[in-house]
Structure 1
Amino acid sequence: MRFSRGVITIAIIVIVLAVAISVGLYHLLKRTPQLAERHAYCVVNTPGGVRNLDPEQAQISATIAAVAARRRLPERAVVIAYATAIQESKLYNVNFGDRDSVGVFQQRPSQGWGKKKQLMDPVYATKKFFAALVKVKNYRKIPLAEAAQAVQRSAGGYAYAAHENEAEILAAAFTGRVPQAVHCWYPSGKTSAPKSRTAVARKQLARALGSTAITTKRRGWLVAAWSVAHAEKYALNRVGYNGATWVNDFERDGWQTGGQASARRVDLS
């Protein structure tokens, strides 16, 4: 069977186009997962487990741990706070809720927790939560749900218990007990944060933590975790502490050992 030159030409063009489209689709699909990963996210990695967070959840978690450290509260208090916040708001600072409930702990202005504007400040809301928690008799030893319910007086207080394991993972990381446990990434340029932004970050840390002096390695890792969690918010590209460095680079797996990072200071840039 013979084909005309025109038919053969059309067939060749169709084949070439098909190959070109196939190659293009292959490379597009190959790149798609990488493109999908280029959004801000955080990972908490401890011997107790791994937890994925978005930046707001990480920032709320870091703030709760810092306020607890300022009050010199035990890690158990932080675990109770996390379990409560996960149940109430999934660790988001929401401006709505049941009736007049707002904020990360869904506290109600009508119940004497404070004004709505105050309760939308995670530092203030956390202080109020801990102020109530420490008044609960034997809160360190009683079941978590019982301690949380004594503070919240929720209609379904039993639900807090379901989040205890997750809360323990977060507490181990953000209190600084487990070093290098908080990892965050966000899309950014290669330039370092201006000194003014670094100063703002330290000022906001002080609101929650009080003195930012590093008196123990655990406190140093708490500050480092807070800084990494707030990296996107304050345009931080590097955090260094105690011989380890976190760099905002999607191609790097979180903290890297080495460098000149001191044990007496958390370096930000």
Structure 2
Amino acid sequence: MPEPSPNPKRRRRLLRFGAAFVVLLAVAGYLAVQYLTGSAAPRCRVVSGKGDGASYEFTPEQAANAATISAVGTTRGMPERAVTIALATALQESGLRNIEHGDRDSLGLFQQRPSQGWGTSRQIMDPTYAAGVFYEHLAKVPDYTQLPLTVAAQQVQRSGYPEAYAKHEPDAGLLAAALTGRTAATLTCQGRPAQTGTGGPDAVRAALVRDFGRDVLQAAGAEVGTRRPSPSSTATATSTAAPAADAVTIPVPRKAAAAGSVSRRGWELAHWAVANSSALHIARVSFAGHEWSRGGFANEWRTTGGSDGKASTAEVRIVTGE
């Protein structure tokens, strides 16, 4: 006699489990392919320099915009508190994204409005310009460094939701501490090259000038060179030489200023480079006996052996390449 057919309820349950398993496998396969091909969105992370476990994760796009906001502020001589206010404002207004839409004619990182005299649409969509005009208005607020962040930001923005800036102050504070160089080795990015944009020394130099002004290269005497790794002693005559790694070396000037200013300037530049690592295809950044590199060690700054503590603060080295 033929065997009885399975219970209909049991069969439907088996089919549901089977379908769910197939979907799970498909999702896992998709994520694996995305990761292996570099398509999955890379992440950046900033941690507290106090060792209290505070941290903030964000995207390379947000990191690059935050680095620009900070660089424009310090180049104008604005204090770290001003950078924190600017970053918290951009986090609230645009999520640190340079968006082409907003309430009425609001645009860009700070949702500035051409109709309200903030500049042309094209100017406002330039992060460097947008940050600069924000700082211009902030500098006119009396005693803004002594005001609560929400009050200072509101004096500039005239937002309908003035209290909304407060929730971004902790994250903005972490970003400002790293990007102004006050905390060392606290910002990392996975660093996979972006699908758009170009890298190389010329692109790095142009971005440095864009954010910090020409003095960052002219006064410091930044040099560009091509460093070709020495062949390994075990290499054979038929082996292919490693590709050249193009580097930008930025000497950090030793100004007669407050103690620690050299180190702070160096970490400002080093963190800026890591924040721009995806956009500019930066593979490695080194400063003060520490090195960040794309790939297996992208989530940490490693100490490098054999460096002189004083000499190691003399320059920031940015290496580009695939």
Q: What's the counterpart of residue 93 of structure 1?
A: 98
* 1:173 Cα offset (Å): 1.1
Q: Aligned in 2, Cα 1:95/1:241: closer, same or farther, shift over 3 Å?
A: same
1:39 shift after superposition: 3.6
Of residues 204, 208, 214, the one that matches 1:205 is 208
Aligned: 1:110 with 2:115: yes
Relative distance call for 1:103 and 1:58 in structure 2 (3 A) is same
Partner residue of 2:44? 42
Specify which of 159, 167, 171 is matched with residue 176 of structure 2.
171
Q: 5 Å matches for 1:43-62?
A: 43-46=45-48, 47=50, 49-62=54-67
Q: Which moved more, 1:86-95 or 1:155-164?
A: 155-164
Q: 2: distance between equivalents of 1:242 and 1:56?
A: 26
Matches of residues 114-263 of structure 1 in structure 2 within 5 Å?
A: 114-187=119-192, 197-210=200-213, 211-212=215-216, 213=220, 214-215=252-253, 216-251=262-297, 253-258=299-304, 262-263=312-313
TM-score by length of 1: 0.81
- After TM superposition, the score normalised by the length of structure 2 is 0.69
Q: Which runs of 4+ in 1 moved over 4 A?
A: 31-34
Q: Does the Cα contact within 8 Å between 1:198 and 1:236 map onto a contact in 2?
A: no
Aligned partners of 2:285, 2:56: CA distance in 1, in Å?
Answer: 21
Q: Deviations over 1:7-36 (max 9, x none)?
A: xxxxxxxxxxxxxx9xxx7xx78x959948
Contact 1:240 1:266 in 2 (8 A): yes
Task: Give the secondary structure class of the aligned counterpart of 1:245.
Answer: strand
Contact 1:87 1:159 in 2 (8 A): yes
Unaligned runs of 5+ in 1: 1-20, 189-193
The residue that corresponds to 1:18 in the other structure is none
Structure 1 residues 112 and 82: alpha-carbon distance in aligned structure 2, compared to 1, 3 A threshold:
same
Measure how far apart 1:252 and its partner are: 5.0
Task: Please list every run of 5 or more consecutive structure 2 residues that lacks an aligned counterpart in the other structure.
Answer: 1-20, 221-251, 254-261
State the superposition RMSD in angstroms: 2.6
Percent identity of the aligned residues? 43
Q: Supply the distance in 1 between the matched residues of 2:79 and 2:176 (Cα, whole angstroms).
A: 10
Listed one character per residue, the Cα deviations across residues 192-234 of structure 1 (whole Å, up to 9, x for unaligned) are xx9x722221221122212223231111111111111111111
| 1:66 maps to amino acid | A
